[in-house]
Structure 1
Amino acid sequence: MKKLAFTIFICCILNISFSQEKKDIKFDKQKFLKELSDNACICIDSINTFDKIKDSIASEISKCIDNQVGAYQMGIKIDKIKDLEKEAKTVDGKKQIDISINFNPNSKEYKEYYYEIERYLNENCDVIKSKMKSNDKLSAKSLSKNSLALEYYNKGLDATKENDFEGAINYYKKAVEIDPEFAFAYDNMGICYRRLENYDEAIKAYEKSLKIDPNGLMPLQNIGVVYIYKKEYKNAIKAYERLGEIQPNNPEVFYGLGSIYAQNLNDLEKGLDNMCKAYLIYVAQKSPYRTDTEQFIQMLHSEFKKQNKLNDFNSILEKNRIKTN
C-alpha cells in the first residue's frame, strides 16, 4: 500500500477552514468539505465533453475529485491531532506527531474520503450530472457539413438553453429540412419534445435519428426514458436491451432495466440484480452515478426487509460479488 507520511510539529500548517482562539483549533468539517468540493466542481465544469465517450468523461471527473482527496484527508486527520498527541513520542523536548496520508486509490481508506467528496458533489454540483449526460460522441452523420444547417442547429441549442423548446424545435426542423441526415438535430429535437411532454413526437425524432445512425447513443438511451414516461414498460425494456446489444457494458442499460423492474413491474429480484450490475460498472468507471445506484440499492434493501426477503437480497448481492454491510 502506497502511503505518504508527514511529521507535523506545528498544528496550523495549512489554511484550510481552521480558526484559532487561544490554544484551541476549531475545525468546520462541512465548510472544509464544501471548499474542496467547490474546487472539484469548478474543475468538472471546465471539462470539454464534445466527441468523448462517457468513460473518458468519467475519468476526467474522477481526476478532479482525486485532486482534493489528499487535502481532505490531511484536514480531517489534523483535526484529530489532540487524540494523536496523547500517544506521541517526545523528541528534543517536542512532541512528534506522525500523520499518514493514503494516496492509494484502491485502498479502503482512500475510497472513504473520495466517496464522501463524490456524494457531496452529486448533491450540490449541478454540472457533474450534466457532463455525464452529454452524448456528443460523433459519428459520420452526427453533424452537418452544411453551414446553413449548422447555423439553424446552433440557434436551436441557444433556444434550448433558454428553455424555449418550441422555438428550438423550429430551428432543428429547419436544420433537417436543409440536411435530412443531420442526426444531432433530430436528437435534440427529441429532447425538446420530451420536455414539452409530447412523447410521441419525441419517439419519432429519436427513431429518425436511429435510421440515420443505428448506433446513436443519445436516441438509444433517451427513447427508453420516453417509453417509461408513457408507461409502456415493455417497450422501454426493449429499448434498453437494444442499447445493451450495442454496448453490453453500458451501466445505464442495467440502471434503466433495474429501475423499471423494481419501480414499475414490482419485480424486486430482477430490479436488484440489474442495479447491482450497474453499480459494479459505475465503480469500475469511477462514475459519479455510483452514488445514485448505491442509494437505489439501499432503497431496495428496505423493500426486501419489509417483505421478509433479506436472504434473497443478500443472495443477489453475493451473486454479483458485492459485500453486504
Structure 2
Amino acid sequence: MGLCYRKLGNYDKAIEVYKKSLEIDPIGMTPLQNIAMAYMYKHEYYKAIDAYKRLEAIDKSNPEVYYGLGNVYANALHEYEKGLDYICKAYNLYIKIKSPYRTDAEKVINMIYSEMKKVGKEEEFNKILEENHISPFENNTGKSTDRDKAALFNIQKTLSARACVCIDSINTRNKSRVQVSEEISACIKKQISGYVSSLTILKSFSAMYKMMEQNKDSASQQAVPVMAPTSDELRHYYYDIERFMFFDCKEIRRKIRAEEIDNRLEVGDNPQSFALYTQAQEELNSGDFQKAIEYCEKALKIDPNFAFAWNTIALSYNKLGEYDKTVSACNESMRIDLLSMTPHFMKASAYREMKQFDKAIAAYQTLTSIIPDKPEPFYELGKFYFEVLHDVEKGLENMCTAYQVFNYDSPPIKADIENNIRLMYTEMKNAGKEELFEKIRKEHKVPSSSKP
C-alpha cells in the first residue's frame, strides 16, 4: 500500500502506511528505506537522514544505507565531504559482496571529485579516500579505458536483464534439474549474438577514441577487423553473461533451487549404470584412474544425467594431471546439478594447478553466489587467497564470511575456520596490520576469541 501511495506521489500517506508497518516490526528494513525515500521526494532531507541513520543502527553491513546517506549529503545538501565518506563506505561494502552496483558508487565519487576540485579541495578528497582504504583518486574519466569498462558493464547489464526476463518465464514443475539448466542456458545463449554485435561496435568506438587521444593522423593503424567469433570466444561470452546474472538476477538462483524440481536423475537410479559406477569407484580407489574413466563413460551411455559419474571422471583426470579434461567433466556435472559443491571445488582446484588463478577465483565466486548460505565456498576461497595468492586481507574477509554463515550442522569446519583466522591474525600482526584485522573482524561480527 505504501508503494502505491508513493507511486501516486502521495508521500505523506506513504510515510503513514510505512510507519504502521514499523509498529508491527520496529526494525523492518524495507519500511525504513521507503520512509527515507519518501522524505527525499518531499525534499525533507534531514528527516531522510534520520531514517537512514536508524537503518544504519540496525544493519551496518548494508551498502544501500550508506549509498542513500551519501546521496542525500552530496546531491541534495551539497555537503560533499560527508557525502563522500558515506559513499566510500558503500563502495567498500559493494566490493566486499562483489556487487555490480559498485559502479554506481564510483559515478557518485567521480561527481564529488569534480565538485571538490572546483573549490580546490582535492587534498581533502584524497584524504577521505585514504581513510576508507581506497587508493588516491586520479581523474581518468576522459580516458577510453574507463569508457570501455563503463560501456561493457552497461552492455552486460542490459543483456543480463533480458535473459533474466526469459528465465523468469521458465516452468520448473515436473522437470529434472538438467532440463531446467538447459532452458536457463537457452535464455542466455539468445543474448550472445547481441553481445557480439555490441562488442564489435564498442571496439570500433574504442579505436576511434584512442586515435583521437593520441592525435593519430591515420585511422588505419587503429582499424578493428570484423571477424566471426571462435567457439572459445562464444563460450567466453556465454560465461560473461552467466557470471553477471548470478550477481544481478535473482530468478536464476530461484529457478535452479526450485523445490518442485525432480532430482531423481542426478544420482543415477538405473541399476546397470550404478553397477558400472560402483566398479569405477573400485578402480579409482585402487589407483587405476583410466579404468575408472572408462567405467564411468559406459555408465553415462546408459544414463547421461548421472552427475556422480561425471564427478568421478573429473577426479580421475585430476589425478592424471589432465586438468583441461577435469574442467570439462566438472562443467558436465554442473550442467546436471549446479548446486553440488564437488564439481565447483574440483574445477577451482584444476585452474589452481594450471596457474590460472583468475579462473580459480571465478569458480569459487560462482559457488558463493549460488549458495551464499554455506560456509565451505567462502572457507576455500579464503584459503586460496591466503595460501596461494598471499593476499591476507581478502583471505580474512572470506574466512570471516565463512564464520558468519556457519551453522552447527557441520561443526568440524568451525575449528578449521577459527584456526585460519588465527593464522591470518598472526601474519597481519607481524606486518603491523593489527588495526585492519580488527576492522575486518568487527565488520563480520567475529568474536575476539578467534584470535590467539
Give TM-score, length-normalised by structure 1: 0.54
* Equivalent residue number for residue 139 of structure 1: 263
Higher relative contact order (CA 8 A, sep 6+): 1
Q: Verify the 8 A CA contact 1:153 1:172 in the aligned structure 2.
A: yes
Comparing both structures, which one devotes a greater share of its residues to helix?
Answer: 2
Are positions 1:246 and 2:366 aligned together?
no
Measure the CA separation in 2 of the matches of 1:309 and 1:222. 33
In the alignment, which of 423, 433, 436 is matched to residue 312 of structure 1?
436
Give secondary structure in 2 for the equivalent of 1:203: helix
- Cα deviation, residue 213, structure 1: 2.8
Cα distance in 1 for residues equivalent to 2:270 and 2:447: 54
User: Of Structure 1 and Structure 2, which has the larger fraction of its residues in strand?
Assistant: 1
Shift of 1:272: 0.4
- Give the whole-Å Cα distance in 1 for the aligned partners of 2:269 and 2:440: 50
Query: 2:355 — aligned with what?
Result: 231
Give the Å deviation of 1:216: 3.2
Q: Secondary structure at the match of 1:208?
A: helix
Q: Deviations over 1:281-320 (max 9, x none)?
A: 3354442011222221111112102211111111111111
SS, match of residue 289 in structure 1: helix
1:168-247 counterparts in 2 under 5 A? Answer: 168-247=292-371
Counterpart of 1:257? 381
1:293 to 417, 429, 445: 417
Q: List alignment gaps of at least 5 residues for structure 2.
A: 1-261
Gaps of 5+ in 1: 1-137
RMSD: 2.0
The amino acid of 2:317's aligned partner reads: Y
Number of matched residues? 188
Matches within 5 A, 1:1-40: none
Indicate how the Cα distance of structure 1 residues 202 and 286 shifts in structure 2: closer, same or farther if over 3 A, else same: closer
TM-score, structure 2 as length reference: 0.39
Going from structure 1 to structure 2, the CA distance change for 1:318 and 1:197 (only over 3 Å counts) comes to same
Counterpart-to-counterpart distance in 2, 1:154 and 1:148: 10
Do the aligned partners of residues 175 and 286 (structure 1) sit closer, same or farther apart at CA in structure 2, a change above 3 Å counting? closer
- Given the alignment of the two structures, is residue 322 of structure 1 paired with residue 446 of structure 2, yes or no? yes
Give the 3 Å change call, closer, same or farther, for CA 248–180 of structure 1 in structure 2: same
8 Å Cα contact 1:282-1:288 kept in structure 2 = no
The letter of the residue matching 1:156 is: A
How far apart, CA to CA, are the structure 2 residues paired with 1:157 and 1:301? 41
* Deviations, residues 50-89 of structure 1 (Å, cap 9, x unaligned): xxxxxxxxxxxxxxxxxxxxxxxxxxxxxxxxxxxxxxxx
Structure 2 contact 333–343 (Cα < 8 Å) conserved: yes
- Distance in 2 between the 1:229 and 1:205 partners? 16
1:273 aligned to 372, 382, 397, which one? 397
